[in-house]
C-alpha cells in the first residue's frame, strides 16, 4: 500500500470512529475518556473491565455501542447462584429423537456485557474467561467458534464486597484494560438531569458503523509502525513493575509484590497502535504508550502493604514508573 493510500485509509477510519463517538454521545453525557478507551479496546480486540459505583452509565455506553455498530448484544447479570451453563450454554435432551442438542448461551454475541462479574462463583468466572481466551466454547462433543468481533465488557462495583467473588490475578490478566469510572462533573450532571430527569424517550441510536468496518480497522491497526526504541521503552516500563531497583527506581523496591506479565507489553503495543490510528498517525510514540499505561497495568500489578500504608495506589506507582523510565 502506498503512502497516499495508507493516509486515506487512516483518515477514513478516523472519520468512521468520530461518527461513532458522536452517535453514542447522543445519550452519553461526559465520560469521553471511558468512551475513547472502549473504542481502543474494540479496535485492538481486547476485553475490558470497568470498575465504578452504580449509576455511572457503564451499562448504557456498552448497549449504545452495540446499537451504533449494529452488533449482536448480550447482557449477563452475574449472581451467586449461576452455573457455567448459564453463560456458555448447555446440551438439551430431546426425548423424541433420543439425542442431545446444543443450546447456545448468551456468550454467543459480538458484544457481551458481563454485569457485576465479581458476583458469580469461580466456576462461572472460569467458564467466561476461558471463552474470552480461546474464542470458542465446547458443549458436549461439539466446539463452537464465537462471533467475530467478540468483546467482553465486564463491570464490577468496587465498594460493595459482601457476597462477591473477587477475580484472581491470573484471570484479571485476561482483560486487556481496566477502566476506573469516576463521577461526572457538576456541569455534566446538570446535562444528565436535562436529558434523563423526565419520562421522554432517549434519542434513537442509529447503526452508523458496520462490524465489517471494525474488522477492516483492526487490520489497519496491525499496519501501524512501531520503532525499536518504542518497543524497548514498553519493555522498560513493564520491567520496572517487576524489578524497579534494576530499572533505577529503588524507591519502589518495597512497594510492589508482583509485576506485570508479558501480556502487559503485548497489550501496551496493541492499544498504542489503536490510539495512534485514531489520532491519524501511522506510527506510535511513547506518548501513546503513556496514555494507556494505567489502564493496562493497574490490574496486573500487586502493591505491598507498605505501599498501602503510605496511601499509594497502583495508579500512583505507575505514575512514578512513567516519571522515571527514560523516554526515547
Q: Which pLDDT value is given to residue 242? A: 92
Asked whether the predicted pLDDT for residue 238 surpasses 90, the reply is: yes
pLDDT tens for 90-135 read: 888 788 777 778 888 899 999 999 888 888 888 888 888 888 888 8
Q: Regarding the domain delimited by 31-184, which CATH topology (the fold level of the hierarchy) does it fall under?
A: Rossmann fold (3.40.50)
Q: Which pLDDT value is given to residue 3? A: 64
Asked whether the predicted pLDDT for residue 265 surpasses 70, the reply is: yes
- Cα angle 14, 42, 215 (rounded to 5 degrees) comes to 70
What is the number of other CB atoms lying within 10 angstroms of the CB of residue 198? 8
In Å, how far from its chain's centre is CA 253?
29
Q: For the chain, give every residue range classified as CATH 3.40.50.300.
A: 31-184
Q: Which pLDDT value is given to residue 4? A: 64
Locus of grid cell 481486547? 46
Query: Could you give the CA distance from residue 194 to residue 184 in angstroms, rounded to a whole number?
Result: 14
pLDDT tens for 281-313 read: 989 999 999 999 999 999 999 988 998 888 889
Write down the mean pLDDT value for the chain. Answer: 86
Q: Which pLDDT value is given to residue 172? A: 81
What is the DSSP annotation of 96-162?
Answer: TTTEEEEEE-TTSSSEEEEETGGGS-HHHHHHHHHHHHHSEEEETTEEEEPPSS-EEEEEE-SS--T
Q: Which pLDDT value is given to residue 328? A: 84
Residues 149-170: what's their mean pLDDT? 76
End-to-end CA distance of the chain: 28
Q: Which pLDDT value is given to residue 92? A: 84
Asked whether the predicted pLDDT for residue 40 surpasses 90, the reply is: yes
Least confident of 58-72, 198-212, 246-260: 198-212
Q: For the chain, give every residue range classified as CATH 1.10.8.80.
A: 224-324
Percent with pLDDT over 90 in the chain = 31
- The kind and range of the H/E element at 92 are strand 89-94
What Rg do the C-alpha atoms of the chain give, in angstroms?
A: 21
Asked if the 224-324 domain carries CATH number 1.10.8.80, the reply is yes
Asked whether the predicted pLDDT for residue 11 surpasses 80, the reply is: yes
Amino acid at each position: 500500500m502506498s503512502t497516499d493510500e495508507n493516509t486515506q485509509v487512516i483518515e477514513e477510519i478516523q472519520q468512521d470512529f468520530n461518527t461513532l463517538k458522536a452517535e453514542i454521545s447522543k445519550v452519553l453525557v461526559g465520560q469521553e475518556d471511558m468512551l475513547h478507551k472502549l473504542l481502543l479496546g474494540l479496535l485492538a480486540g481486547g476485553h475490558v473491565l470497568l470498575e465504578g459505583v452504580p449509576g455511572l452509565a457503564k451499562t448504557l455506553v456498552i448497549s449504545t455501542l452495540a446499537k451504533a455498530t449494529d452488533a449482536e448484544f448480550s447482557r449477563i447479570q452475574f449472581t451467586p447462584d449461576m452455573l457455567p451453563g448459564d453463560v456458555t450454554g448447555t446440551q438439551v435432551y430431546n426425548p423424541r429423537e433420543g439425542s442431545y442438542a446444543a443450546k447456545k448461551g448468551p456468550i454467543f454475541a459480538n458484544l457481551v456485557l458481563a454485569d457485576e462479574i465479581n458476583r458469580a462463583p469461580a466456576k462461572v468466572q472460569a467458564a467466561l474467561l476461558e471463552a474470552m481466551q480461546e474464542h470458542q466454547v465446547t458443549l458436549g462433543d461439539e466446539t463452537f467458534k464465537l462471533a467475530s468481533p467478540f468483546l467482553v465488557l465486564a463491570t464490577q462495583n468496587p465498594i460493595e464486597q459482601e457476597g462477591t467473588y473477587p477475580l484472581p490475578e491470573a484471570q484479571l490478566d485476561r482483560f486487556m484494560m481496566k477502566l476506573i469510572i469516576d463521577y461526572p462533573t457538576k456541569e455534566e450532571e446538570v446535562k444528565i438531569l436535562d436529558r434523563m430527569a423526565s419520562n421522554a424517550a432517549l434519542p434513537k441510536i442509529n447503526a452508523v458503523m458496520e462490524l465489517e468496518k471494525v474488522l477492516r480497522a483492526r487490520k489497519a491497526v496491525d499496519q501501524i509502525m512501531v520503532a525499536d526504541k518504542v518497543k524497548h521503552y514498553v519493555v522498560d516500563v513493564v520491567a520496572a513493575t517487576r524489578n524497579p531497583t534494576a530499572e533505577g527506581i529503588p524507591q519502589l523496591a518495597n512497594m510492589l509484590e508482583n509485576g506485570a506479565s508479558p501480556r502487559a507489553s503485548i497489550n501496551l503495543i496493541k492499544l498504542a497502535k489503536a490510539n495512534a490510528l485514531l489520532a491519524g498517525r501511522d506510527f506510535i510514540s511513547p506518548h501513546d504508550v503513556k496514555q494507556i499505561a494505567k489502564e493496562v497495568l493497574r490490574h496486573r500489578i500487586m502493591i505491598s502493604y507498605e505501599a498501602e500504608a503510605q496511601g499509594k495506589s497502583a495508579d500512583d506507582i505507575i505514575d512514578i514508573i512513567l516519571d522515571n523510565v527514560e523516554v526515547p
